[in-house]
Chain A
Amino acid sequence: MQWGSASEFFAMGGYGLYVWTSFVATALCMVWEVLALWRRRAAARAEQRAALLGGTDETTA
């Protein structure tokens, strides 16, 4: 371990803003992408189910 304390870790030698913005932004983007895909899949399945049960020939948007 090279960090004396937790506050040293978060400060990152004075560059904390830059380092943590980068990592947090990356994490947020990935989480957002996964969530968006989850929503997309649910919506697609719901629409497919509706078309199937509705019995009409709906074209998906």
Chain B
Amino acid sequence: MSINWLKYSSPQAFYPLAGRLIPWFAVVAVALMVVGLYTGFFVAPTDFQQGEAYRIIFVHVPAAWMSMFLYVVMAMWAGIGLGLKARLSFMMAQAIAPTGAMFTFLALLTGAMWGKPTWGAWWVWDARLTSELILLFQYAGVMLLRTSIDDVRRADRASAVFALVGVVNVPIIYFSVQWWNTLHQGASVSMATGSKMAATMLIAMLIMTVAFWLYSIAVILARVRCIMVERESLPVWEEKPAVIQEAVEAR
């Protein structure tokens, strides 16, 4: 049996599909979070160097990975939208940005929480944290560009261009900040865990990452459905027949 994937590229077809998928992603995400947190707190041992503080990585690393991953996916949808002029692609990009920004904020917050007991400072100007900060600004730029431009079509395409420009910028930032750190020989700390991680720590971290990923998919699908309704790209067939009947009779 071959599925005609192309038919899901129209909002009308994608809307109910997304609606059916969301509960599955949500349930598995929650289940994995429970498993991951249990493994992280009750199975993984205490770290020799960092004590219990290291357990923050079970949310810090997944959040950081998601923030980067979601930005790339958003840029991919932006590129597809610009190339194929597909409405749904732009709506997907629009739906991803807030979740990506949230994870970026969490990565920075938990990074500071981890940094203070471990390295003694709330903030260090290492390449990873600084790139994360710039990423937050880029997410903000994508979202503000959209809200500042009234014309929906122009907003879609302008924020898509900026998202793509930003994707090029992030690796350049990372390299330049690393360069800058070696130049100033100041911050020789990095946010990477020095010691080798025990297998259970790694497993817990990976489980949490997958959980965050599935959570993101659920949330983004829910948001894109809202966007479809808001933009009236989606006709009101989703309403109950009685309501539609009533409206038709009222005319």
Contacts and interface: CB of A to CB of B under 8 A. Distances in A.
B243 A13 contact: no
Interface in A4-21: 9, 12-15, 18-19, 21
Interface in B209-251: 215, 219, 222-223, 225-226, 229-232, 236, 239, 243-244, 246-247, 250-251
B178 interface: no
Interface residues of B, number: 41
Contact of B102 (A1, A29, A45, A52): A29
Chain A interface extent, by class: 20 to 34
Contact of B109 (A22, A37, A45): A22
A25 B63 CA distance: 12
Given A30-B215, A55-B247, A22 B110 contact: yes
Interface of A: 1-3, 9, 12-15, 18-19, 21-23, 25-26, 29-30, 33-34, 37, 40-41, 44-45, 47-49, 52-53, 55, 59-60
The 4 A-B residue pairs with the shortest CB-CB distance in the complex, in nearest-first order = A13-B52, A15-B53, A12-B52, A44-B229
